[in-house]
Amino acid sequence: MTAPYINAVGDIIYSKKADINAILAADAPPYAYPPPLVYPEPTCPGPYGYQEDGDGDPTTVQLTPGTVAGDFPPALGGGLVIISLAPGIYCIEGNVSLNGDITGIGVLLYVENGEIYTNGNANITLEGMTEGEFKGLLFYMPLTNPNVAYINGSSTTSMTGTIFAPATPVTINGTGGVFSLGSQVIGYTVTMSGTSTIDITYDDSKNYDGVHPPEVELSQ
């Protein structure tokens, strides 16, 4: 695993077989839980839709933003296959299971109640919102959602944007080649594992900045 640094409140323990290229800093001051933030409140006023993807293949379509009442991506039927996501917010009431090839730039997957699973063998390219109040946010699981998130990736996977899941056990798993992750990962617990390199290249301009509520302080 390659990262600028790994900072932990307690000890940092890893296998002797692990290849860690990072500055390790233990005994950091603890951060309050739940984090004292103004939490995102994404809304999806209507249901999702779909449109032609533009590749000339009538069986492949692009999903358009909105509420998905069940699992994601939704099954459209009629032999249609979703291969891309139009920019915007997707409010998902079920589980997220990305098993096939999919691309989405400028998207927010708001997982209200379910789990997240991505297949490391699929061609997945995702980038979080590029503008607005949720700029830089890719996956969001609110404090009321404690379900698991398994982010499996390989050389065919590229993700950029914040994975914000403060009540969730998050596992980042490299399955083959170099897994490119341009994300900050915020979870109740975060586990890094796998058989390949996880290359975390953090760019603040492409990640979400949480808003801290105002505080009253006394000075003398």
- Shared-domain flag, residues 193 and 121: yes
pLDDT, tens digit only, all 220 positions of the chain = 777 778 888 888 888 877 888 889 888 888 788 888 889 999 998 999 999 988 888 899 999 999 999 999 999 988 999 999 999 999 999 999 999 899 999 999 999 999 999 998 889 999 999 999 999 999 999 999 999 999 999 889 999 999 999 999 999 998 888 888 999 999 999 998 888 788 888 899 999 998 777 655 555 5
Domain contains 15: yes
Whole-angstrom distance, CA of residue 134 vs CA of residue 110: 11
Domain contains 51: no
Domain contains 9: yes
How far lies 95's CA from each of 119, 148, 173, 218, in Å?
14, 10, 19, 46
End-to-end CA, the chain: 47
Torsion sign (Cα): 205, 210, 216, 220: negative
Could you tell me the residue range of the domain that residue 3 belongs to?
1-31
Domain contains 69: yes
Whole-angstrom distance, CA of residue 119 vs CA of residue 116: 10
- Shared-domain flag, residues 129 and 77: yes
- Shared-domain flag, residues 68 and 23: no
- Shared-domain flag, residues 73 and 119: yes
Whole-angstrom distance, CA of residue 210 vs CA of residue 142: 13
How many domains does the chain fold into? 2
Whole-angstrom distance, CA of residue 29 vs CA of residue 164: 21
Domain contains 169: yes
